[in-house]
Each structure stands twice: as C-alpha cells, then as structure tokens.
Amino acid sequence: MKDQIRSHWNGRASGYDKNVRHVIFFQRDKTVWQRIFAELLGEDHHRILDVGTGPGIVANLISGMGYDVTGIDASERMLAKARENSATLHNSVELVLADAENLPFSEASFDAVVNRYVLWSLPDPKSAIAQWHRVLRPGGRLVVVDGNWYLDGQNKPWTKKLWALVSMALAGRRWPGDQNANDGGWRERLWSSNAKRPEADIEMLRELGFKDIQVTTNLNRRLLTTLDYLKWGHSGDQFLVTGVK
C-alpha cells in the first residue's frame, strides 16, 4: 500500500502544488494560516518538524515566521516542489526524504511536530503518531490539521455531488470522475475511510500518551472565503487536533 500511495503522490506532485500553493503566495491565505500556527506554537517552539510536507506549504508558512523547520515526505517529486517553493520564498527549510511512520531522528529532537492533510493518508496512523511522540521533547506540542475527505465517498448525498459539479465550474476545472477508480483501491482500505473523526484521532493521541488534547472543528469557517467555500467546501470539513507530550 505504501508503494501505491507514494506513486500516487509522485504522480500528483505538480497538480497538487498548483492547487495549494496559494496558501504561501497569496497574502490573505498566508496570514490566516500563520495566525493559526502562531496561536498553537507560541514563542517557545523553535525547532519544528513538518511531517508529510508535500510541496512545503506548512514548512514555508512557519519558516517565514522565524522557526527552524525540517520537512519530511516519502515522495521525491513532492520534495522537489518543496525545494522550488522554498527557494522562491528565500526560506531556509531542511527537506528530508523519509517515512512518516519511521522517522530518522533521535528522541526529543523537536519542540513541535505539525502536519496538514497527512494523517488520513497513512496506512498505520498509530505507528506514525507514536513516532511523532518519540521525537518531541517533553512539553512539546503535536498539531494535526485534517479533514473527513473520503469518508463514505461512494455514497455522498446527491446535494454534495451537485455541489461538487458546481465547484468545478467556479474553479475552472474539469470533472475528474471517480477519484478512487484508478488508485488501486488504497483509499478504501485506509483507516480514515471508515473512522469517525476527529473522535478517532483524539482517542489515538490519548492512548499514545498525549495530554491537554484540544480540538477545533468547523475550521472551514475560519479558512475559507465565501467563494472558496463554494469551490472547495464539498470536499469535507476540516478540523484541528493538538496535544502535548
């Protein structure tokens, strides 16, 4: 499954970068996200690990805030995009090819571990979170931003399907068809496709020793303008979960 997932993201690196890079290049989006991370990270979290950095969106956001950032990803092509974006923004981000479930770092290496839109796609989320806990210093914070992207994706109500069609026109995109049709079935086998979230996330963090667990739901309201919500809101509600080692 990991090979299928890696191949998927390698193939999507260029298109995905085009879809999400506005977060680091458009001031409105950049400001909203940086405010969120500033609230969570404060001034004490100096060395930060961005897991599943993709094209380096979160890594560049928080590097631009003055933090020392390391980004890891299992996709070589995603890391290539991250390097391009970091160079364009003149940010100093260390980028490492690595598996989110097997981190190449020693214990207590980071003041915070962050990730955005990553946990849903991992075959073994508990192993990953255990690794994130391991590399955090005592008192360090984990920040998970995610959404219910593919939950019951084959049985969405007709209203959501209609919304998705309208969003294609608003965003100037072609209808992609069934996103699961050519993925080898790995999405359907993922834990997140049949989990109640963020409740499942909270339980995993608790089992793996995190304290002071806090959740923010309906994150779309803070992140998206009305037009953006019409374009992307059909994909699912975003949420944020944090915990302290």
What mean pLDDT comes out for the span 147-163? 57
Is the pLDDT at 45 greater than 90? The verdict is no
CA distance 142 to 132: 8
Is the pLDDT at 92 greater than 60? The verdict is yes
Q: Per residue in 11-50, is it b (16+ CB within 10 Å) or e — as a string?
A: eebeebbeebbebbeeeebbeebbebbeebbeeebeebbb
Q: Which helix (H) or strand (E) holds 223?
A: helix 220-223
> Domain residues of the chain, as ranges?
2-244
Mean pLDDT of the chain: 86
Here the tokens at position 115 are 């990730």
CATH architecture of 2-244: 3-Layer(aba) Sandwich (3.40)
Output the pLDDT for position 176: 45
CA distance 54 to 50: 9
Mark residue 148 as left, alpha or beta (left: phi above 0; alpha: psi -120 to 50; beta: remaining). beta
Mark residue 244 as left, alpha or beta (left: phi above 0; alpha: psi -120 to 50; beta: remaining). beta
Output the pLDDT for position 188: 83
Whole-model pTM?
Answer: 0.86
Is the pLDDT at 117 greater than 70? The verdict is yes
Percentage of residues in the chain with pLDDT exceeding 70? 80
Is the pLDDT at 171 greater than 90? The verdict is no
Mark residue 216 as left, alpha or beta (left: phi above 0; alpha: psi -120 to 50; beta: remaining). beta
Reported as a pLDDT band with limits 50, 70 and 90, residue 180 is very low
Reported as a pLDDT band with limits 50, 70 and 90, residue 116 is very high
pLDDT digits (tens, 9 = 90+) for 141-150: 999 999 987 6
Q: Which of 241, 69, 68, 56 is nearest to 143 (CA)?
A: 241
